[in-house]
Homo-oligomer: A and B are copies of this chain.
Amino acid sequence: MVKIEDVARAAGVSVATVSRVLNEQGGVLPQTQDKVRKAVEELHYEPNLSARNLRKNESRIILILAPNFSNPYYSKVLPGICDVSRNLGYSTLIYNTYDSNALDESLVVSLFEKNRADGMITLAVNRDDRWLAKYTGKYSIVQCSEYVEDIELPHISVDNRLAARELVSHLIAQGHSRIGIITSANRYLSSTNRLRGYFDALEEAGLGEDETLIAYASADYSFVSGKQAARELLSLPEPPSAIFCVSDILALGAIAAAGKLGLQVPWDLSIAGFDDVDYTTMFHPYMTTVAAPCYELGRRSMLLLYDHILQKPGAQQEVYLPHQVVLRETTAQRTQGRMADKP
List B contacts of A78 (CB < 8 A): 69, 94, 96
CB-defined interface of A313-325 with B at 8 Å, one 1/0 digit per residue? 0000000000000
A219 at the binding interface (Cβ < 8 Å): no
Q: Would you call B79 and A278 a contact (CB within 8 A)? A: no
A14 at the binding interface (Cβ < 8 Å): no
A75 at the binding interface (Cβ < 8 Å): yes
Q: Would you call B83 and A96 a contact (CB within 8 A)? A: yes
CB-defined interface of A104-119 with B at 8 Å, one 1/0 digit per residue? 0000011001111000
For A46, A69, A223, the residue with the greatest tally of chain B CB atoms inside 10 Å of its CB is A69
Q: Would you call B72 and A116 a contact (CB within 8 A)? A: no
List B contacts of A113 (CB < 8 A): 1, 44, 46
List B contacts of A82 (CB < 8 A): 94-96
Q: When the two chains form the complex, which single residue of B46, B50, B51, B114 contacts A110, counting CB atoms closer than 8 Å?
A: B46
Bound together, the chains give a CA A93 to CA B93 distance in angstroms of 5
Q: When the two chains form the complex, which single residue of B50, B59, B74 contacts A115, counting CB atoms closer than 8 Å?
A: B50
Binding site for B on A (CB under 8 A): 1, 44, 46-51, 53-54, 57, 59, 61, 64, 68-70, 72, 74-76, 78-79, 82-83, 86, 91-96, 109-110, 113-116, 223, 252, 256, 278-279, 282-283
